[in-house]
Amino acid sequence: MEKTVQIENAKKFIEYLETKSTAMSDSLYRNPVLQYTCPERLAHEKEQLFGGYPLHLAFSCEIPEPGDFRTDDFSGVPILLVRGADGKANAFLNVCRHRGAPVAEGCGKGQRGFICPYHAWVYGTDGALNYIPGEDGFEALDKATHGLRRLPVQEKYGMIWAKTAPGEDFEIDDTLQGVEHDLAAYGFEGFHHFETGVLRPKMNWKLVIDTFLESYHIKVLHHKSIASLIESNVATFEAFGINQRGIYVRKNFDELRAKPESDWNILPYTTMVYVLFPNTVLVVQQEQIETWRVYPDGDDPNAAKMHISLYTPERPTTESATRHWRNNMDLLMKVVDEEDFTLGEKMQFGFRSPAQEHLTFGRNEPALAHFHGSLDRMLAVAAE
Ligand code: FES
Ligand SMILES: [Fe+2]
């Protein structure tokens, strides 16, 4: 985050803490409960959002060298991300052009190509079909048009995005709509991938994202864990088109106030929560970066799945550094899973009852209103 933006936010926090206030939207927002439970709405979201927008799939550091690859099925199609010999990130549908077997599994390093596990057709890291065993049987087949199907992909700011269907290339800044200035300033290119975990709560995928979007609940739901670290109901909020940034302030903020303005660096005193439209929550927390890439789990509006990745400023080289990051990874998974998602699953259960037709987002919950407003707006645009 740029220095001027840090100072601007620090000043807002000084005001909010002195006046016991927080960023406010103009009015209450009523969000239909059906949006969390309706199979038709989910089908629409899957088609328009997960099928239409570039999705953030990985940090560059997850495939740093040529031949490094990872597969990802969470978007609903099997994706193979691999760094080519030319150093560029490629994305393909992980589907053999012979009879459809996945050509790669999991992740790996320094692969020169991919040998399909069914009949051993061989593909390069550029997706080209290089070799067919028993080629006599396929004389009439044009190898040049039977490479892995390429997906539009872009690598920028140390992050990788891809679309889930073949088509035109995209420019990710068109989707980031201004939030890229923050991303560029963090220098993710130099980060290290510590670990990725998976959670599959019985909650709508949007309800998963909602849990990150206000600090109003911290002293109540998290009274035994992070309430001692983060102020409740004190946050700044900024929209970047369909994306957004909320910043929560930590209880050590007075240390920053004691410093001259020119030395203000808000990172040690805040937790930044971005939504990168449509489904990625990016958390910048002191030195660590987390991403929560959240998807619907199949066709069930009551179920989500997500990849949770932790990135560190450098590769841990000592046992104590590894232990430190391991504890952080365990803590973040535990707090969210045991506190937010345990309650979220009960909320999802209640959504299916006739209790009410709308949830109410307070004026002090502007990030929730913006997230759902953006989704509704983009789905409506797609329906026109
Ligand atoms: S399905 Fe891949 S080689 Fe046959
Ligand atoms: Fe929470």
**What is the average pLDDT across 330-356?**
95
Cβ–Cβ contacts within 10 Å for residue 134, how many? 8
Closest atom, ligand 1, to C-alpha of 119: 3
pLDDT score recorded for residue 384 = 75
Closest CA to 221 of 210, 139, 266, 91: 210
- 17: amino acid identity, one letter: L
Domain map of the chain by residue range? 3-52+175-383, 58-169
Q: Which protein residue has the closest C-alpha to ligand 1 atom 4? A: 119
Residues with CB under 6 A from ligand 1: 96, 98-101, 116, 118-121
- Expressed in angstroms and rounded, the spacing between residue 198 Cα and the centre of ligand 1 is 29
**Is the sign of the CA dihedral 361, 362, 367, 369 positive or negative?**
positive
Residue 45 CA to residue 41 CA, distance in Å, equals 6
Nearest-atom number in ligand 1 for the CA of 99 is 1
Q: Widest CA span of the chain, in angstroms?
A: 79
User: Per-residue pLDDT for 300 more than 80?
Assistant: yes
Check whether 215 has a pLDDT greater than 90.
yes
What the block records as the tokens of 126 is 């550029």
pLDDT of residue 380: 87
What tens digit of pLDDT does each residue of 2-19 get? 889 999 999 999 999 999
For ligand 2, the distance from its centroid to the CA atom of residue 220, given in whole angstroms, is: 10
Per-residue confidence (pLDDT) for residue 2, from 0 to 100: 85
**Class of the 58-169 domain?**
mainly beta
CATH architecture designation of domain 3-52+175-383 = Alpha-Beta Complex (3.90)
Contact 268, 257 (CB under 8 A): no
**What is the predicted pLDDT for the residue at 3?**
87
Q: Of 4, 3, 31, which Cα lies nearest the Cα of 204?
A: 31
d(CA 129, CA 144): 7
pLDDT of residue 349: 98
Whether residue 125 is predicted with pLDDT greater than 90 in this model: the reply is: yes
Task: Give the pLDDT of residue 212.
Answer: 97
384: burial class by Cβ within 10 Å (0-12, 13-18, 19+)?
Answer: exposed
Q: What Å distances lie between residue 308 and 106, 125, 133, 158, CA to CA?
A: 16, 26, 39, 17
Ligand nearest to the CA of 119: 1
pLDDT tens column, 218-264: 999 999 988 999 999 999 999 999 999 999 999 999 999 889 998 89
Task: Check pLDDT > 90 for residue 383.
Answer: no
Mutation test of ligand 1: which of 80, 93, 105, 121 has the most ligand atoms closer than 8 Å to its C-beta? 121
Q: What pLDDT was estimated at residue 146?
A: 98
Contact 176, 183 (CB under 8 A): yes
pLDDT tens digits, 140-160: 999 999 999 999 999 999 999
pLDDT digits over 57-87, tens only? 999 999 999 999 999 999 999 999 999 999 9
